[in-house]
Structure 1
Amino acid sequence: MDSNIHLVKTVLKYTYGLVPIIAGLDKFTNLLTDWGQYLGSNFSGIVPVETGTFMILVGLIEIVAGVLVFIRPRIGALVVMVWLTVIALILLISGNFIDVAVRDLVMAIGAFSLSKLYETGPKA
């Protein structure tokens, strides 16, 4: 049983560490997608900088969150969970990309689960 828990912790740690870092780095290049489209017109008028600049700031936050998962998994996973929930709420409020919002909420549950796994037991 302990080896299964260790495996799950390790897989989740790499998932929630690497994915935010990769997505964050892509905010600088837009190779995976045009990230600005997810901001939506409702929020682009509120943001005090250009969409591209805002997305770079978002990317920096995501990179830091991913690195934090590797350094302090319990805390980093909670940061990722909150971040994913905020993104999902913004998408739900905008009424666009509802499928991505649902997926982000599911991913937030996984990040929460990772944090809980690191509350007790040996560190992986």
Structure 2
Amino acid sequence: MTQFHQEHQQVFGQQQNAGGDIHNANQSLTFGTVQRPEDLATLLTQLQDTITHATTDGILPKKTGIDAKAALEKAVVEAEEPKPDKKSLLDYLTTAKTLIESITAASGLIPSIVTAIEAVHKVL
């Protein structure tokens, strides 16, 4: 599959990550590599770290960052369960996505969360 360098492009609306990888700031989140439920927790933790950095850097307001990070923490805990509950995971990720969607400066985080949601659908 052909992939194009799209760094620094502004994109609006729903996006697809056909390449299977997401690049946010200086961190690469590769939810396309998730093949097993056990892989989710590690990548969700990376996504949580990205939210923390966005909050620290002022991209996300502190309260929004705290709430989004809490939702992702719940997703990580759920993903670490022996039999993760798909609905709960999707609810936590959707909550984080909804919180961040209203912050224009943080719109680059949305594709990572959408891809995480797709990964949950894929492996659970």
Higher helix share: 1
Whose strand fraction is larger, Structure 1's or Structure 2's?
2
Q: TM-score, normalised by structure 1?
A: 0.48
Q: Structure 2 length normalisation: TM-score?
A: 0.48
| Structure with greater Cα Rg | 1
